[in-house]
Amino acid sequence: MSGRSSRQRERGTPERMSRTETWIVSAAFAAFAISWFLPVMHAGQLLGEIARGWKAFLLALSYAIKPDRLGWFWALCIAGVLGNVAVLLTPWMLRKPMVPIWYLLLLMVSLSNLAWLYAAEMDLEIGYWLWFGSMLTLGLIVLRRHRAARLALAGAAASRSVGTDGSRA
């Protein structure tokens, strides 16, 4: 039996992270932070140089706010900006049970960032891979923890419906 209170089980709040999960989340956050200072792309005509992560973010943010036109590149910039927001919200996502639509949106934003592989005239560098890998890792941990919370909630509901003598309540 875990040290969780019955109130935690009823709400479906996940247990504390294991040491391994804590290490993985810490490593993913470290990789995310480092990616902001490493080269992420050689943008050819777009920037004319190798852009660092922070510069690529500012470029995507400025294009998302004031696009020349709406199209696939604008959507890609929005997904990149939202991916960073999702990473910054991860600590909250790990602590609170979430509505499933948020997981779907997080997954769509994360996977849409793979489209940078096909973006015109861009060679992706190590910073991009650290950035995307950290986003994917954090997303998988959040999904895993959400599933564990749902199973705990289902287990709590099942234990309430069956009495101590094995009869249904």
For residue 8, what pLDDT is reported?
47
| Average pLDDT score over residue span 20-32 | 94
Question: What are the extents of the domains in the chain?
Answer: 44-149
Confidence check: pLDDT of 27 > 80: yes
CA dist 135 and 87 (Å) reads 6
* 39 and 51 Cβ atoms separated by less than 8 Å: yes
In this prediction the pTM is 0.74
**pLDDT tens digits along 100-148:** 666 667 677 777 788 777 765 567 889 999 998 998 888 888 878 777 7
Task: State how far the Cα of 99 lies from the Cα of 113, in Å rounded to an integer.
Answer: 22
Q: Specify the 3-state DSSP secondary structure of 46.
A: coil
How far apart are the C-alpha atoms of 90 and 93, rounded to whole Å?
A: 5
